[in-house]
């Protein structure tokens, strides 16, 4: 366990720009933007994201019909500010995965790492877990931190402006629920997208040079060949459905329809349920994807054990 | 090929035990079948020209690639048990660059996390005592000599049985090279441990070796104790008048100089050579050139030594 912790710590250190600093910088920019509105705009803060349209103008807080309390409104609204952080974290995880096993050869550090009592399996899994889970969880933690900072700032500014009983909404902030839901949803997403990330890691291990091209060319060829030969788009749609969380959303929607017999609305619809996990586990494509991911990781481990430089 | 294993040691006591070890890349045989053993308490120098198979041999020992034949490192197959064996084996390679994105304290912590036999305090103490390296420094900002010193401090703080050094002094000045070898003997070597080292600076390492191996074209052509070299290989400096007699004694290499010629002999008694000129023990460098040098190259490289 100590070895795995050490390996993951080293991975975070190596990719701290992607995994740590970038989410913090984006969070800082968002915080600066919102706080500037809070402090200097006479019309308050306007948050629009999809169906959300929340305005905090110091005199009134418009509560969308979907929400039951000011705290829920503010919490969910500020939580949504974290979406860009989450999106960027995933894009960066893509590139971290793609470079992980290639760069250690290119930088010639692989022999140093192989001089340690660390198996190739441990080394590859540490890289996979870091890019696939730890990095996005860091992004989720940053999102939560951003939500707390913005909520506290809002309460302070509104108090100064004389809005009564502002601090009460902080108690209603669904932070823990927001955090566990995000972590839970992301964990399911990471498992759905596992074959894609494991494929990238495998190509990073196999690529003699330019892992980006080495990874993308076979996929591009497969997509084009499939379209020409069979007139279908299985490969492309499989990647899209997994990468864009469409499979995950479909599984959850189906289970909720079956269980609730109606489309969920309101605040609760945004939070994870145990049945969401069961719904995912019931989809064969989920397990097929995990099987492919295991195969790709095995090839990555095998390749690392045979290659030094 | 000589066996450098004392007869009282069993196979499990050996640091390295190779029988018919070879390595082939496609059609190219990088290492021809060879057998040798290294017990504890040895400092073995492995020498050969570029492409002779030194790194292939070391990589096999370190479990970095597969091989044919039998090979045991501390009683285990290094390719199958590399990770476990690395608890007892350390290596420094010139191409094993330390991760530039780490600081000194990062790398100390990393090794401490993953290596159960690493003493972080000892490494830190050695850095403070022998170098100007501080924990806050970034590895990317260290000079080549400082990186080697850092790597050496890491390795010397590991309680290992075997230390493998593959061209560890490339790019270092003579002072750093000397201090590295001094540290190996003073801070690592004892009768329970062995060191394997390859380098092109043969003359600088000769004094610390107990045994030597020469490789040529993937084949071990010499595997012997240093102390046996002294009585076995002789240099004769003879005048042209004695050239015919010197050639008659069957030198393994010769070089014609101005006024005198050098002849190197394997196993010829000193008393047979003495009447023909000045006789002295061959240095390892002279022996290396005699055994492994190519005519065109050795004429320049020998510089007072012998030439094949």
Per-residue model confidence as pLDDT tens digits over B200-244:
888 888 888 999 999 999 999 889 898 888 778 889 988 888 888
Lowest mean pLDDT among A79-93, A112-126, B101-115: A79-93
A249 Cα to chain B: minimum distance (Å): 39
A112 CB near a chain B CB, below 8 Å?
A: yes
| Average confidence (pLDDT) over A222-248 | 89
How would residue A218 be classed by pLDDT, with cut points 50, 70 and 90?
very high
Q: Is A309 helix (H, G, I), strand (E, B) or coil?
A: coil
Q: Which residue of B has its CA nearest to A5?
A: B113
H helix intervals, chain A: 2-14, 16, 22-40, 70-81, 83-106, 110-114, 120-129, 135-160, 168-171, 175-192, 194-206, 211-230, 234-243, 246-260, 274-281, 284-306
CA nearest neighbour of A176 among A47, A75, A86: A75
Question: Which residue in the set A13, A115, A308 is minimally distant from B102, CB to CB?
Answer: A13
Best mutation target among A116, A303, A304 (most B Cβ atoms within 10 Å) is A116
d(CA B196, CA B44): 5
Q: Which two tokens stand for residue A50?
A: 């999809």
A263 Cα to chain B: minimum distance (Å): 50
Q: Please, what is the average pLDDT of chain B?
A: 85
The residues, any chain, with a CB within 8 Å of residue A250's CB and separated by 6 or more, are none
More confident of the two residues A245 and B77: B77
Question: Which residue in the set A10, A115, A117 is minimally distant from B96, CB to CB?
Answer: A115
Percent of chain B scoring above 90 in pLDDT? 43
Contacts A–B by Cβ distance under 8 A: 85
Per-residue model confidence as pLDDT tens digits over A9-59:
999 999 988 888 998 998 899 888 878 877 776 655 555 544 445 555 444
Q: Please, what is the average pLDDT of chain A?
A: 81
Check CB contact under 8 Å for A114 and B82: yes
Q: Is residue A297 pLDDT above 50, yes or no?
A: yes
Q: Is residue B24 pLDDT above 70, yes or no?
A: yes
Percent of chain A scoring above 70 in pLDDT? 79
Q: Is residue B88 pLDDT above 70, yes or no?
A: yes
The residues, any chain, with a CB within 8 Å of residue B99's CB and separated by 6 or more, are A10, A14, A107, A109, A112, A113, B107, B139
Model-level pTM?
0.82
Question: Which residue in the set A107, A114, A117 is minimally distant from B97, CB to CB?
Answer: A107
Q: Is residue B181 pLDDT above 80, yes or no?
A: yes
Q: Is residue B105 pLDDT above 80, yes or no?
A: yes
Q: Is residue B197 pLDDT above 80, yes or no?
A: yes
Question: Which residue in the set A2, A13, A116 is minimally distant from B106, CB to CB?
Answer: A13
For residue B15, the model assigns a pLDDT of 92
Element (H, E) at B182: helix B174-183
More confident of the two residues A99 and A251: A99
For residue A77, the model assigns a pLDDT of 63
Best mutation target among A18, A106, A117 (most B Cβ atoms within 10 Å) is A117
Check CB contact under 8 Å for A117 and B96: no
| Average confidence (pLDDT) over B67-82 | 93
| Average confidence (pLDDT) over A67-79 | 60
Check CB contact under 8 Å for B86 and A114: yes
Lowest mean pLDDT among A132-141, A284-293, B82-91: A132-141
Check CB contact under 8 Å for A114 and B62: yes
Q: Which residue of B has its CA nearest to A116?
A: B86
Question: Which residue in the set B59, B66, B114 is minimally distant from A116, CB to CB?
Answer: B114
For residue A63, the model assigns a pLDDT of 45
Domain segments of chain A as ranges: 2-174, 201-306
B235 Cα to chain A: minimum distance (Å): 41
For residue A40, the model assigns a pLDDT of 73
CB-facing half-sphere around the CA of A25: CA atoms within 13 A: 9
For residue B137, the model assigns a pLDDT of 95
Please report residues of A whose CB lies closer than 8 A to that of B112.
6
Q: Is residue B3 pLDDT above 70, yes or no?
A: no
Question: Which residue in the set B90, B114, B116 is minimally distant from A7, CB to CB?
Answer: B114
Per-residue model confidence as pLDDT tens digits over A139-155:
888 888 888 888 788 77
Q: Tell me whether 0.95 is exceeded by the ipTM.
A: no
Q: Is residue B304 pLDDT above 60, yes or no?
A: no
B136 CB near a chain A CB, below 8 Å?
A: no
Please report residues of A whose CB lies closer than 8 A to that of B84.
117
Check CB contact under 8 Å for A109 and B65: no
B138 CB near a chain A CB, below 8 Å?
A: no
Q: Which two tokens stand for residue A127?
A: 């890289």
Per-residue model confidence as pLDDT tens digits over B151-180:
999 999 999 999 999 888 877 788 888 888
B291 Cα to chain A: minimum distance (Å): 31
Check CB contact under 8 Å for B114 and A117: yes
Q: Which two tokens stand for residue B72?
A: 């045991």
For residue B301, the model assigns a pLDDT of 39
Q: Is residue A279 pLDDT above 90, yes or no?
A: no
Q: Which residue of A has its CA nearest to B164?
A: A115
Lowest mean pLDDT among A52-56, B104-108, B296-300: B296-300
| Average confidence (pLDDT) over B287-296 | 69
Q: Which two tokens stand for residue B187?
A: 């801070």
For residue B211, the model assigns a pLDDT of 93
For residue B9, the model assigns a pLDDT of 43
Contact yes or no for B21/B67 (Cβ under 8 A): yes
Element (H, E) at A104: helix A83-106
Check CB contact under 8 Å for B113 and A13: no
């Amino acid at each position: 366990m100590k070895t795995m912790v050490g390996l993951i710590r080293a991975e975070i250190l190596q990719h701290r720009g992607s995994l740590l600093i970038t989410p913090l910088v984006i969070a800082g920019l968002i915080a600066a933007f919102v706080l500037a509105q809070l402090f200097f705009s006479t019309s308050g803060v306007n948050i629009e994201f999809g169906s959300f349209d929340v305005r905090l103008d110091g005199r009134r807080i418009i509560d969308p019909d979907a929400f039951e309390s000011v705290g829920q409104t503010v919490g969910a609204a500020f939580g949504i500010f974290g979406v860009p952080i989450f999106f960027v974290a995933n894009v960066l995880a893509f590139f971290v995965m793609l470079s992980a096993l290639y760069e250690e050869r290119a930088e010639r550090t692989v022999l140093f790492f192989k001089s340690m009592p660390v198996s190739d399996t441990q080394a590859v899994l540490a890289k996979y877990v870091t890019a696939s889970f730890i990095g996005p969880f860091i992004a989720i933690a940053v999102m939560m931190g951003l939500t707390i900072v913005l909520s506290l700032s809002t309460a302070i500014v509104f108090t100064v402006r004389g809005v009564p009983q502002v601090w009460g909404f902080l108690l209603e902030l669904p932070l823990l629920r927001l955090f566990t839901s995000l972590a839970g949803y992301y964990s399911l997403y990471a498992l759905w997208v596992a074959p894609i990330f494991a494929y990238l890691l495998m190509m990073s291990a196999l690529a003699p040079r330019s892992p980006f091209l080495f990874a993308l060319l076979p996929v591009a060829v497969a997509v084009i060949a499939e379209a020409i030969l069979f007139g279908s788009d299985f490969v492309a749609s499989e990647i899209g459905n997994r990468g864009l969380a469409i499979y995950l959303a479909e599984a959850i929607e189906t289970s909720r329809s079956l269980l609730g017999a109606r489309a969920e609305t309101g605040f609760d619809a945004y939070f994870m349920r145990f049945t969401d996990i069961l719904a995912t586990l019931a989809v064969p494509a989920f397990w097929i994807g995990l099987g492919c991911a295991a195969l790709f990781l095995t090839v990555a481990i095998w390749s690392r054990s045979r290659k030094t430089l | 090929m000589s066996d450098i294993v004392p007869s009282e040691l069993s196979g499990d006591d050996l640091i390295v035990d190779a029988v018919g070890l070879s390595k082939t890349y496609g059609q190219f045989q990088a290492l021809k079948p060879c057998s040798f053993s290294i017990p504890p308490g040895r400092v073995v120098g492995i020498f050969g020209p570029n492409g002779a198979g030194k790194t292939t041999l070391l990589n096999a020992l370190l479990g970095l690639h597969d091989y044919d034949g039998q090979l045991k490192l501390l009683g285990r197959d290094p390719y199958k048990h590399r990770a476990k064996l690395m608890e007892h084996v350390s290596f420094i390679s010139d191409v094993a660059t330390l991760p530039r994105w780490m600081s000194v304290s990062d790398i100390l912590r990393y090794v401490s996390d993953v290596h159960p036999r690493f003493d972080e305090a000892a490494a830190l103490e050695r850095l403070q005592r022998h170098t100007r390296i501080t924990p806050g420094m970034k590895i990317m900002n260290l000079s080549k000599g400082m990186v080697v010193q850092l790597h050496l401090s890491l390795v010397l703080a590991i309680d290992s049985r075997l230390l493998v050094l593959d061209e560890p002094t490339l790019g270092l000045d003579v002072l750093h090279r000397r201090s590295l070898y001094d540290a190996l003997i003073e801070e690592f070597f004892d009768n329970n441990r062995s060191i394997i080292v390859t380098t092109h600076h043969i003359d600088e390492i000769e004094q610390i070796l107990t045994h030597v191996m020469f490789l040529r074209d993937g084949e071990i052509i010499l595997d012997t104790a240093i102390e046996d070299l002294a009585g076995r290989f002789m240099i004769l400096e003879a005048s042209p008048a004695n050239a015919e007699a010197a050639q008659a004694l069957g030198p393994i290499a010769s070089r014609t100089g101005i006024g005198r010629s050098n002849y190197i002999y394997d196993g010829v008694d000193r008393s047979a050579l003495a009447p023909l000129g000045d006789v002295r023990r061959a240095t390892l460098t002279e022996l290396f050139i005699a055994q492994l040098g190519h005519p065109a190259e050795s004429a320049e490289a020998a510089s007072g030594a012998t030439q094949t």
